[in-house]
Amino acid sequence: MLHKEMDMRLLTVDDAESLLHLRKSNRQFLQPFEPLYEDNHYTLEEQQRILTSKVKAAEAGQAYAFGIFARSENQLIGKIELSAIARGPHQNANIGYFLDQHHNGKGYATAAVSFCVNYAFDHLSLHRIQAGVMPRNVPSKRVLEKAGFREEGLALRYLNINGVWEDHALFAITTEDRA
């Protein structure tokens, strides 16, 4: 169930300007948790290119990028994505998300993750969703736990974040966990 003060929908190229504003206004806040991006990442052209690829990925059933919108402001306040969708015997996806720093702690991220879990299981017929979170990112770990994910282990030097190979706690949820 969605948070009463938010909406979610698949992002389109028309959202590039809003996504650019969100990215620019949260650049310093998100930097400790993201890869190092070149300056061109923070241009309208690059956000349009990224969203074009996200739309194509959704059309191909490979990934789904959703916008998280504050209802009162009709403003993009976050992004959440089901990516690296594997079919065949896997039937799984990765989930990743970020939220505007001024909207943290209000339940939006947990509601967005729960929405994507339901979307993945009910509409995409996936079996498993997984996420990796740096152990020090306690708020993000709490979001996953509240959404029903379990911690499964630690992947050493898993992703290059902010120029450093960071360990990540691995979380997952399967359809059986929703009972």
β-strand pairing of 150-161 with 164-174: antiparallel
Give the pLDDT score at 179. 64
Sequence-separated (6 or more) residues with CB below 8 Å from residue 4? 71
Which domain, by its residues, includes 31? 6-178
User: Is residue 21 assigned to a domain?
Assistant: yes
Rounded Cα gap, residues 82 and 95, in angstroms: 5
22 burial (CB, 10 Å; 0-12 / 13-18 / 19+) is: buried
Rounded Cα gap, residues 105 and 30, in angstroms: 15
Give the pLDDT score at 2. 73
β-strand pairing of 164-174 with 128-133: antiparallel
Q: Provide the residue type at 139 as one letter.
A: P
Rounded Cα gap, residues 65 and 40, in angstroms: 21
Number of domains in the chain: 1
Residue 20, helix vs strand vs coil: helix
User: Is residue 1 assigned to a domain?
Assistant: no
How big is the CA angle at 141 (ends 27 and 168), to the nearest 5 degrees?
80
Residue located via tokens 């997984």: 130
Q: pLDDT by residue for the chain (179 residues), tens digit each?
A: 677 889 999 999 999 999 999 999 999 999 999 999 999 999 999 999 999 999 999 999 999 999 999 988 889 999 999 999 999 999 999 999 999 999 999 999 999 999 999 999 999 999 999 999 999 999 999 999 999 999 999 999 999 999 999 999 999 999 999 86
Provide the 8-state DSSP code for 125: -
CATH of residue 10:
3.40.630.30
What's the farthest any 2 CA atoms get from each other in the chain?
Answer: 45
Cα 46 off chain centre by: 19
